[in-house]
Amino acid sequence: MRIPALGLLSLVLLPLLLLAGPSHAATASAAPGAPANCAKADRDDGTIHVRVCLRDRRGNANDPVAGVTVRVSDLDGNPIGEAVSDADGLADVNLGEVIDVLGQRYVIEIDTETLPEGTALQNPKDVKRTTEQFQLETDYSVTFPIDDKIEEPSDWDLALNLLATGLVYSAILAMAALGLNMVFGTTGLTNFAHGELMTFGALIAFAIDSMPGEISLFGHDYSVLVACLVGFLASGVFGWLNDKGLWAPLRRRGTGVIAMMIISIGLSIFLRNSYQYLVGGENRNYSQYTDLQPYEIGALRITSLQITVFCIAIGVLVAACCLLQFTRLGKATRAVADNPALAASSGINVDRVINRVWIFGTALAGLSGALLGVTQGFNFQVGYKALLLVFAAVTLGGLGTIWGAIAGAFIIGIFIELSTLVVPDELKYVGALVVLIVVLLIRPQGILGRRERIG
Amino acid sequence: MNFSDLLSGSFQQGLGTSAIVYCLAAIGLNIHFGYTGLLNFGQAAFMAVGGYTMAMLVVQWDISLWLAMLVGLVLAALLALLLGIPTLRLRADYLAIVTIAAAEIVRQLYGSIALKKYFGAQDGLTSFSADFRALNPFSGPVDLGFVSWSKDDAWVVLAGWVTIALCCLLVWLLMRSPWGRVLKSIREDEDAVRSLGKNVYAYKMQALMIGGMIGALAGFFTALKSAAMNPTFVATDVTFFAYTVLLIGGAARVLGPVVGAVIFWFLLTFLDLFLSAATDDEGSVLIPEAIMTNQQASLMRFIVMGLALMLLMIFRPQGIFGDRRELAIDGR
């Protein structure tokens, strides 16, 4: 029982060690996971060796791998020596006299051609390791774990899957962007608390979802869907409250737009930390859809959750656009956005229209936050983290325009996912924000915006 | 709970290193927002560029700290140029969005694993302050009776308040000059200034650069006060702390940020210390755990700050010293 547990431990430690670099890798082989024969040998002939251990880690095993060629060269690429691993999985390369080796650095390389059929290095990029400067007169031991060869998906397959993820993400982003742009269009306020309106929806949905019992219909469990619906409705009420309690009085006082932006920042900080006060800082999952088996359609892997979320989001977007385009309230909204004074003089109750816009826009934001929570997991800053991307989307599409918000969201969402083909995953949002700045340089009004709004 | 401890702890922060950093950041914002009406929501970016440039050049390239500071100031000015070019011709909210995005870009880049060998990723950078500490005139801890600082902190505090005094002098001189009057008139009515033949864009750009460079000074002190630079020091919220500081003291007043920083950090620390003592398991628990745990108490400062920022802007946008007529800032 002891060996597998230790093997497992070294497996867990390994990524950390790889990150930490070769100096730590040297100590790694001395860690309890390494079999005795990889440790430093008792020799006393005044030479220093590199001892490379090759271990087959498939299925939690830790078996030696024989017949693998290991080459050692200096930093300039001149070969120093090579060895083939023996039955113990050990390849031992003599570096030479202590006096020549001390203070030098070497590159250890695995010849991947000589690995057994169907296997690869556990980390395929870990073919070469560079040692630290040799300081001590001891051998340098290092272990290369070997695992099943994983077929690397081609760039096109990867792009296809990223495109699918990007589409789902964009549809969610588009709802939030539409909500932001409706409020901006009618009131001129760039609402920096919009991210918290999104989180509100996710929070309500989470609260409903974590209540005991489940909501089922015809034998199916619909708890999360119902929770999202409640989040949507509650967000509408929250939007009404926001407007009646804060923004409508400020409008009546004639507070300037800049002052309102700073107030929205204050509201954002207040709400975000209140959420953390209520639910804590951890990342949590909703009760359903966390561990889904994806459908495979050709090279495309997509889960039923992704399809459902995409359909809901697109449905809501289409409904919202139809409402804005064809109903009396929608026409009134567009009239107020165009020219509030003219709208008021033609008999539209501007304040009531703005109130409806707040309700509707916040409900959209809340639903978007809830769906974001379902797909990515919920925490108190799920909306805050998306806020800048929503801004990027509306700026790209055109501040205050309806179609611009949706187009911008799709461009930004797909761009973020596809950009991971070239930039590291951790920097994918940075790319989107750089796009935002570049767009302002080239076409400040955005793709679908109008010139007169920006000056 | 010991109230004299609470008070001295609060004074310690109100006059100490944190107040200095936010005071400098707010002086920079005062030039942007208070005098010129520019809505810079990314002062943290300027602080990050200042602090990280200084730390990185000393740690990686081993150049003199003072030269590194100079480079930091130049880079902060360049960042202002970069952000100003696309946005200063547009309405105020574009600058706000771009600067807040820039702050996030800068923070994520400095914290990224891809650039770890330059900026140390999440671990940040340390051991760059030797040149600064070598000039320390204090040989031991400094005790002023109600506050006391360690030897290193006392030197940061002294250098910080001297820097603040110099910055205030600079702002005072600038704003009584014809240049400063143009800035204020841009804030009041941009079109009127343009009709007088002034190049509004250039003036705004100069204001953005000078304020950004003072922001970089704040970044230097952020790094020096803890002898480390770290992405969490320049989170997006730092900018809004600085806004609160500025609005408490009064925007468009030379001494506004100074008064604001002292009051803000005094009150914030007092609240923090009080709540953490009131919810602490060890002492007498004033607030039951069901209402507020110790962990939740540490969030109260942000909740109160957000609320304070809102209420200040709604009810007293001119702060303590400001002139309401001077702050009739409107959207443009």
Phi then psi dihedrals of residue B165, to 5 deg: -60, -45
Which of B32, B188, B309 to probe the A interface (max A CBs under 10 A)?
A: B309
Task: Provide the token pair at A69.
Answer: 């060629």
In this complex, the residue of A258, A263, A276 whose CB is nearest that of residue B92 is A258
Any residues with CB less than 8 A from the CB of A325 and at least 6 apart, and which? none
Confidence of residue A5 (pLDDT cuts 50, 70, 90): very low
* A194 Cβ neighbours under 8 A, 6+ residues apart: A176, A179, A180, A183, A365, A383, A387, A390
pLDDT band at A13 (very low <50, low <70, confident <90, very high): very low
A248 at B interface, C-beta within 8 A: no
The answer to whether the CB of B157 falls within 8 A of the CB of B19 is no
Reduced to 3 states (helix: H, G, I; strand: E, B; else coil), residue A104 is: coil
Q: Does domain A154-442 have CATH number 1.10.3470?
A: yes
**Residue A72, φ and ψ in degrees, nearest 5:** -120, 135
Provide the whole-model pTM: 0.79
Would you say residue A12 has pLDDT above 70? Answer: no
pLDDT band (50, 70, 90) for residue A109: confident
pLDDT at A6: 44
Q: Which residues pair with A144 in a beta bridge?
A: A54
Per DSSP, A1 falls in state -
Contact A358, A240 (CB under 8 A): yes
Helices (H), chain B: 3-15, 17-29, 43-56, 65-87, 92-110, 116-119, 130-134, 151-176, 178-188, 190-195, 200-226, 237-249, 256-278, 294-297, 300-315
Angle at A436 between CA A435 and CA A437, to 5 degrees: 90
Q: pLDDT of A160-184, one tens digit each? A: 889 999 999 999 999 999 999 999 9
Task: Verify whether the Cβ–Cβ distance A436 to B296 is below 8 Å.
Answer: no
Model ipTM value: 0.89
The residue in chain A having the minimum alpha-carbon distance to the alpha carbon of residue B292 is: A277
Ordered domains of chain B (ranges, CATH): 3-327 (1.10.3470)
Domain ranges of chain A: 48-148, 154-442
CB count within 10 Å of CB B162 equals 10
Q: Treating both helix axes as pointing N-terminal to C-terminal, what angle do B200-226 and B151-176 enclose, rounded to 10 degrees?
A: 170
pLDDT band at B202 (very low <50, low <70, confident <90, very high): very high
Quote the Cα angle for B217-B223-B227, to 5°. Answer: 140
To the nearest whole percent, how much of chain B has pLDDT over 70? 95
Mean pLDDT of B8-20: 87
pLDDT at site A78: 81
Please give the DSSP secondary-structure letter assigned to residue A157. H
- Asked whether the beta carbons of residue A262 and residue B313 sit closer than 8 angstroms, the reply is yes
CB pairs under 8 A between A and B: 136
Residues in chain A: 455
Are B75 and B45 within 8 A, CB to CB? no
Residue B37 near residue B31 (C-beta atoms within 8 A): no
pLDDT beyond 80 at B290: no
Region A20-37: mean pLDDT is: 42
Residue B261's pLDDT is what? 93
Angle CA(B302)–CA(B308)–CA(B313) in degrees, nearest 5? 135
A258 and B328 within 8 Å at the Cβ level: the answer is: no
How far is it, in rounded angstroms, from Cα B84 to Cα B94? 10
* More confident call, B148 vs A30: B148
Q: Is A15 on the interface with B (CB under 8 A)?
A: no
Kindly state whether B290 is in contact with chain A, defined as any CB-CB distance less than 8 angstroms: no
Higher pLDDT, B102 or A118: B102
Q: What is the pLDDT of residues A116-163, one digit of tens each?
A: 877 777 777 777 888 777 777 777 788 888 877 776 667 788 888 899
Q: Which of A61-75, B130-144, B225-239 has the highest mean pLDDT?
A: B225-239
Rounded Cα–Cα distance for residues A369 and A184 (Å) = 19
Q: So what's the pLDDT on residue B327?
A: 61
User: Given this structure, which CATH class describes domain A48-148?
Assistant: mainly beta
Reported as a single tens digit per residue, the pLDDT across B35-65 is 998 999 999 999 999 999 999 999 998 899 9
For a pLDDT cut of 70, what percent of chain A falls above it? 87
Work out the pLDDT band at A315, boundaries 50, 70, 90. Answer: very high
- With 0-12 CB in 10 A as exposed, 13-18 as middle and 19+ as buried, what is B289? exposed
